[in-house]
Structure 1
């Protein structure tokens, strides 16, 4: 008997992981990606306990991912009127010691390459240059048409095609992303000496600016500076060398605590606006469902974008295994039941993370000395970071309801 075919739209970070989960539970996934080849866009990701726990279910995957271990989270103020360390937490180290998973910084291009190669090694076709433009449902299948005129059909379709999701547009119409009012400029630097021994996420605060940085391997640090500015396109393309040099020489390059050295030595510098989208009340129609940024795009201030997408994958596949254990072609009625349970579980949780991320961005980037002092005092008094809400998600360590056979 032939396996149930599933089309995945999008070969970014989420699509290959979903493909490996579907492959390991008896389905036959194929990934279509609109770009002509894998891109080198994007800087880095912070893999947190919930995301790492999901990735660890895929045999041999974590061993291939080169990253930077994070043991602490430190907050500094560079405001001249309130200079110094605000707070420090060893919660990442404690999480790893107690639960087996902490925080790991990774370059996006490195992670992306590993995910694509691992998915291909496990037998998933990944087809580039195919942009989804329309969906047509039949009784037990979906026909997908691409911009190049080619078509394909599968039992069901999963949209993993990110903030600018064509799948989402096909299901729910065009919805323009909402600019949050914040812009980030980020880059990659050789780790300064004062940060080499910390193995920390550092957060640096000034009047109208915030920088976050973390190691992505044993000698490089990824960083992003957030400011409130006019809208900037989310292109993720590296600045030309003249623009990069101008930024390296800006006033932020004089910051202490290693932050200025990151800015002054930065490479691969990019500038991009931060966006989210209106919250959806449903993520599926018929035999098509969304997950990850296609369903719940978020600003990056909590670092949960990819990690929440991995939670999505776990729960969608868990529900498929529960309600369709033989992985045969499901009826539209059964898929609707699965997708609805998936939404009921995931929409409230991801919506809360989106709101929290936006609120945190607004807290970090405030203007005026008195407002900055208030922010700093808040950071001194608050729990620096709580990993509690991700520690035992999407399942308690050792009690996964999904077992992959790969």
Structure 2
């Protein structure tokens, strides 16, 4: 008997992971990606306990991850009127002890290529140069048409095609992303000697600026610098050499605690606006469903974008396994019930993280000495990410 075919739109971070889970539970996934080849877009991300618990279910995957292990969360102020360390938390170490997974900073391009290679090693086809432009649903299938004129048909479709999701647009119409009012400048640097081996996520607060930095391997640090500026579209191309030089040699290069050294060593510096989208009431129509950034894109201030996508993957496939254990061709009614239960479980949680991320970003980048002191006092008493928020994701090895 032929296996139930599933089309996944998007070969970013979520799509290959979903395909691995579907393949492991008896489905026949195929991934279509709009770009012509894997891109170098994006800087880095932190794999947190909730996401790692999901990835751990894919045999052999975590053993291949190359990254920087993180044990502590440190927050510091460079405000001259309030200079010094604000707080220090060993939450990552405690999470590792409790859950057996190490919080890890990874370069996005390196991690992305690992996911693609691992998916292909499992026999999952990944087809580049195919941008989804329309969907036609029948009683027992969905036909996808691509910008190049080609088509394909599957039992159901999952949109994992990110912030600018064509799948979302086909389902719910054009909805422009919402600019948060914040812009991030980021890059990759050789780790300064003062920070080598520290295994920390470092948050540094100035007036009208916030910097986050963390290791992505044993000698490199990824960093992002958030400020309030006019909208900057996320082309993911490096700034021109003169603009990079000015940033490397600018006032931020004088920040203490190793932060300035990181800036002055920055390579391939990029600048991009930060966006999210209004909450959707539903993520599906008929035999098509969204997950990850296609459903709930978020600004990066609590590092949960990819990790929430992994939670989506886990729960969607868990529900498919629960209600369709033999991975047979599901009816539209069955899929609708599964997708509805999936949404009830996920929309409230992901919306909370999106709102929390936006609020965190706005609170970090404040102006005026007194407002900055208030912010600093807040972060003295509050850890960056309470471990309970990351441990509440419970997973079971069902694949």
Q: Distance in 1 between matches of 2:5 and 2:306?
A: 25
Q: Is the 8 A contact 1:201 1:212 kept in 2?
A: yes
Q: Distance in 2 between matches of 1:98 and 1:340?
A: 32
TM-score norm. by structure 2 comes to 0.99
For residues 125-165 of structure 1, the C-alpha deviation after alignment (integer angstroms, 9 at most, x for no partner) is 00000000000011100000000000000000000000000
> What is the aligned partner in structure 2 of residue 213 from structure 1?
213
> What is the aligned partner in structure 1 of residue 96 from structure 2?
96
Cα distance, 1:196 vs structure 2: 1.1
> What is the aligned partner in structure 2 of residue 147 from structure 1?
147
Secondary structure of the equivalent of 1:205? strand
For residues 211-235 of structure 1, the C-alpha deviation after alignment (integer angstroms, 9 at most, x for no partner) is 0000000110000000000111011
Q: Is the 8 A contact 1:120 1:126 kept in 2?
A: yes
> What is the aligned partner in structure 2 of residue 376 from structure 1?
376
> What is the aligned partner in structure 1 of residue 240 from structure 2?
240
For residues 218-260 of structure 1, the C-alpha deviation after alignment (integer angstroms, 9 at most, x for no partner) is 1100000000001110111112222211110110000000100
Q: Distance in 1 between matches of 2:370 and 2:333?
A: 58
For residues 340-379 of structure 1, the C-alpha deviation after alignment (integer angstroms, 9 at most, x for no partner) is 0000000000000000000000110000000000000111
> What is the aligned partner in structure 2 of residue 168 from structure 1?
168
Q: Is the 8 A contact 1:311 1:394 kept in 2?
A: no
Q: Is the 8 A contact 2:9 2:32 kept in 1?
A: yes
Q: 2:398 aligns with which of 373, 384, 403?
A: 403
Q: Distance in 2 between matches of 1:388 and 1:216?
A: 25
Q: Distance in 1 between matches of 2:254 and 2:90?
A: 27
> What is the aligned partner in structure 2 of residue 303 from structure 1?
303
Q: Residues 175-214 of structure 1: matches in 2 within 5 Å?
A: 175-214=175-214
Cα distance, 1:394 vs structure 2: 3.8
Q: Distance in 2 between matches of 1:263 and 1:223?
A: 8
The change in CA–CA distance for 1:51 and 1:3 in structure 2 (over 3 A counts) is same
> What is the aligned partner in structure 2 of residue 53 from structure 1?
53
TM-score norm. by structure 1 comes to 0.97
> What is the aligned partner in structure 1 of residue 264 from structure 2?
264
Secondary structure of the equivalent of 1:347? helix
Q: Distance in 2 between matches of 1:297 and 1:59?
A: 28
For residues 55-92 of structure 1, the C-alpha deviation after alignment (integer angstroms, 9 at most, x for no partner) is 01000101111000000000000001110011101110
Aligned length: 399
Secondary structure of the equivalent of 2:236? coil
Unaligned runs of 5+ in 2: none
> What is the aligned partner in structure 2 of residue 39 from structure 1?
39
Q: Is the 8 A contact 1:88 1:384 kept in 2?
A: no
Q: Is the 8 A contact 2:88 2:383 kept in 1?
A: no
Cα distance, 1:102 vs structure 2: 3.4
Q: Residues 228-377 of structure 1: matches in 2 within 5 Å?
A: 228-377=228-377
Q: Distance in 2 between matches of 1:326 and 1:239?
A: 51
